[in-house]
Amino acid sequence: MDVAYILVAAVAAAGLFYILLARGNAKPKPQPKLVGKATFAGGCFWCLEPALTAVRGVLEVTPGYAGGAKPNPTYEEVSGGSTGHREAVQVAYDPRTVSYERLLDIFWKQIDPTDDGGQFTDRGSQYRTAVFYHNPAQKQLAEESVSRLGESKKFRGPIVTEVIPYTGFYPAEDDHKGYSRKNMLKYEAYKMLSGREGFIESTWGGGESAPITAPDKLRRKLTPLQYHVTREGGTETPFKNEYWNNHREGLYVDVISGEPLFSSNDKFDSGTGWPSFTKPLNPDSLLEKADKGGVMQRTEVRSRRGDAHLGHVFNDGPTGKRYCLNSASLRFIPREDLEKEGYGRYVKLFNA
């Protein structure tokens, strides 16, 4: 009896061991992909697509048509104004990375929300602006965003952009997707000549995608030092900041918007105690303004999309310019983390 009991116990123990071993070797189940959808009408969809595509957490931006009753309309039909549709974009995004509120912030900074007859040189109901909400939560956030925009006193007239229920979306023809990239010169000329670019510059000082965020919300997002530097033009202590002596490969992005600004390939030791670079990844991502607040006249550098104070630029760098920045304005993403952080297209910068 004792021998049988021992044999049964041994078999049970062996079975339990193999079960635990199998569990230990089992691959973890991948997390399901979370995809949110947002739909905006902002006049010509060529101009909305690049601004939203650049945002970290945005998976895809599709130009198309929304708001009308005609199924599968063509570009010619919609632009003729007879379908009830408006030119629009649909955004697929990861809500764990970028919020719907952030997408609204960017949308407002691409349009004239006081124009009820179209947008800039594009006239007609097919170019009127709208936020098409997909659920009650989006409706509430959109309406709150409209109120906040009106309270900002940025515009003389009332905000007329409609917040209306989403009823459907039809993707535009293939030649309209990525138009700003595939037809760069034509797109840039159109955006300038239409008046949109000048309007954005005069209204927002070039900070096209800077968040329209209440100060208390931004304070919760940033550390006290980050807020002081980016929003109050402060300067951190030299040699006692996060990145002045960082020698790892990777990108330096705007701490507010996540826009890529500088590469470690262009970083050098200036001896000043602040992170210094010879050039930005894209000059258009920066704004330079005269800074007369100090003893000597300097040129301030700000991020275009996040409208964050970064530091100053001087003409004494090893190859010309020296961008002397505050670590508090930046977030560093190591080379090995670029893919998982959504910056995979920049990996090639660091390939030998």
pLDDT per residue over 272-297, tens digit each? 999 999 999 988 889 888 876 655 67
Query: Is 44 an active-site residue?
Result: yes
What pLDDT score does 115 carry?
A: 94
Residues 55 and 184 in one domain: yes
pLDDT band at 204 (very low <50, low <70, confident <90, very high): confident
Contact predicate 158/150, CB 8 Å = yes
Q: Supply the Cα-derived Rg of the chain in whole angstroms.
A: 25
* 279 within domain boundaries: yes
Please state the separation of Cα 105 from the chain's center in Å.
10
Q: 280-297 in b/e burial notation, b at 16+ Cβ within 10 A?
A: bbeeebbbeeeeeeeeee
Residue 261 sits in a domain whose CATH number is: 2.170.150.20
Strand partners, 92: 37, 60
Residues 195 and 341 in one domain: no
* 59 within domain boundaries: yes
Using alpha carbons only, what angle is made at residue 211 by residues 158 and 263, rounded to the nearest 5 degrees?
150
> What is the 8-class DSSP label of residue 186?
H
Give me the catalytic one of 324, 325, 330, 338: 324
Cα 83 to Cα 70, 289, 297, distances in angstroms? 6, 46, 56
pLDDT band at 208 (very low <50, low <70, confident <90, very high): very low
Give me the catalytic one of 38, 41, 44, 91: 44
* 5 within domain boundaries: no
Q: Does this model's pTM top 0.75? A: no
Domain boundary among 173, 207, 241: 207
Please state the separation of Cα 189 from the chain's center in Å.
23
Residues 198 and 309 in one domain: no
Provide φ and ψ at 201, rounded to 5°.
-65, -45
* 242 within domain boundaries: yes
Give the mean pLDDT of 138-166: 93
Range with the lowest mean pLDDT among 75-89, 125-139, 172-186? 172-186
Domain boundary among 189, 207, 225: 207
In whole angstroms, give the CA distance from residue 56 to residue 342: 6
What pLDDT score does 258 carry?
A: 79
User: Could you tell me the two tokens for 2?
Assistant: 């004792």
In whole angstroms, give the CA distance from residue 99 to residue 213: 12
* 229 within domain boundaries: yes
Provide φ and ψ at 225, rounded to 5°.
-70, -45
What pLDDT score does 3 carry?
A: 52
Which stretches does DSSP call E strand in the chain? 36-41, 58-66, 86-93, 118-119, 122-123, 130-133, 162-165, 169-171, 250-254, 260-263, 267-268, 276-277, 286-291, 298-303, 309-317, 320-325, 330-334
Number of structural domains, the chain? 2
Neighbours of 109 (CB within 10 A): 22
What pLDDT score does 30 carry?
A: 55
Residues 250 and 151 in one domain: no
Residue 86 sits in a domain whose CATH number is: 3.30.1060.10
pLDDT band at 267 (very low <50, low <70, confident <90, very high): very high
Give the mean pLDDT of 33-52: 92
What pLDDT score does 261 carry?
A: 94
What pLDDT score does 201 carry?
A: 79
* 13 within domain boundaries: no
What pLDDT score does 12 carry?
A: 53
In whole angstroms, give the CA distance from residue 107 to residue 104: 5
Three-class DSSP labels, 90-116? EEEECCCCCCHHHHHHHHHCCCCCCCC
Residues 262 and 289 in one domain: yes
Residues 142 and 236 in one domain: no
pLDDT band at 156 (very low <50, low <70, confident <90, very high): confident
Residue 169, pLDDT above cutoff 70: yes
Per residue in 209-256, pLDDT tens?
A: 444 444 566 677 789 999 999 988 999 999 999 999 999 999 999 888
* 8 within domain boundaries: no
What pLDDT score does 153 carry?
A: 83
Neighbours of 210 (CB within 10 A): 22
What pLDDT score does 31 carry?
A: 55
Q: Residue 159 corresponds to which amino acid?
A: I
Domain boundary among 207, 229, 264: 207
> What is the 8-class DSSP label of residue 70?
S
What pLDDT score does 25 carry?
A: 52
User: Could you tell me the two tokens for 282?
Assistant: 């894209």
Residues 162 and 307 in one domain: no
Place of tokens 């970083």: 267
Residues 60 and 169 in one domain: yes
Query: Is 47 an active-site residue?
Result: no
pLDDT band at 166 (very low <50, low <70, confident <90, very high): very high
What pLDDT score does 213 carry?
A: 47
Residues 190 and 221 in one domain: no
Residues 116 and 147 in one domain: yes
Residues 185 and 279 in one domain: no
Residues 256 and 279 in one domain: yes
Range of the domain at 252: 217-350
What pLDDT score does 351 carry?
A: 81
